[in-house]
Amino acid sequence: MKKILLFLMIAIFSFSSCEKDDICDANTPTTPRLVMEFYDISNPSILKNVTNLKVIGDGMTEGIVLNPTASGESQYLSNDSKISIPLKTDTETTKFRFILNSGNPNPTLIDIDEVTFNYTHNDVFVSRACGFKTLFTLDPLNPYTQTTIPATKLKWMQFISVEKSNIDNENETHIKVFF
């Protein structure tokens, strides 16, 4: 009888130690980033790679990591036709600086566009381990505002098209940029 009691005690303590075992799985869709694709303005159905594109959020000094496999400065530079950038989850606007040919020794070749995305957001329950995620809806009337730095320069992003105003996963392209 005593042996059984002891066994049960051990079983219970091993049970209670399993309480904090769940970790949010990296494959669980959580707060999505804004997915942008770049197209050739002269041939709008063809994807076009950007050259050394760096994206810096307003008020930040470091760029968004666009190339996670690289290290050093080049992890902030994209030479691809697709990027994903995180929106702020506690405000309704997020401003980014899109720097094309970033780091080029010739400053006249560096093009900087500033884009502010306007959206509403709401928090959606995911699971015990992941908590909530934030989903975004781009403002239907005024999804973004675009300026150049300096303002006299021409916009390098010649046309921005909103493909999906509901940003609830990263499997689709939300914004198409033609340049």
Partner 1 sequence: MSLLLAQAQDTIPNNTSLERTKKVGEIPEVPKLVKKKTATVTKTDTIVPVKKDRYGLRVGVDLYKLTRGLYDENYKGIELVGDYRLTKKYYAAAELGSENKTTEDDRLNTTTKGTYIKVGFDYNAYENWLDMENIISIGLRGGFSTFSQELNSYKTYNANPYWGEMPWKTSGEKFSGLTASWLEVVAGVKVKVINNVFVGFSLRMNVLITDKKPSDNFENLYIPGFNRTYAGNFGAGFNYTVTYFVPLYKKTVKPKK
Contact positions vs partner 1 (CB under 8 A): 1, 4-5, 8-9, 11-12, 15, 19-20, 24, 26, 30-31, 33, 57, 60, 64-65, 84-86, 88-90, 123-134
Three-class HEC string of 55-91:
EEECCCCCECCCCCCCCHHHHHEECCCEEEECCCCCC
Nearest approach, Cβ of residue 13 and partner 1 (Å): 10
Closest by Cα among 30, 18, 33, 78 to 52: 78
Q: Closer to partner 1 by CB, 57 or 153: give it.
A: 57
Gap between the Cα atoms of 131 and 139, Å rounded: 26
Nearest approach, Cβ of residue 25 and partner 1 (Å): 11
Q: Can you read off the two tokens belonging to residue 97?
A: 């600086």
Q: Closer to partner 1 by CB, 41 or 129: give it.
A: 129
Q: Closer to partner 1 by CB, 66 or 138: give it.
A: 66
Nearest approach, Cβ of residue 140 and partner 1 (Å): 23
Gap between the Cα atoms of 174 and 161, Å rounded: 9
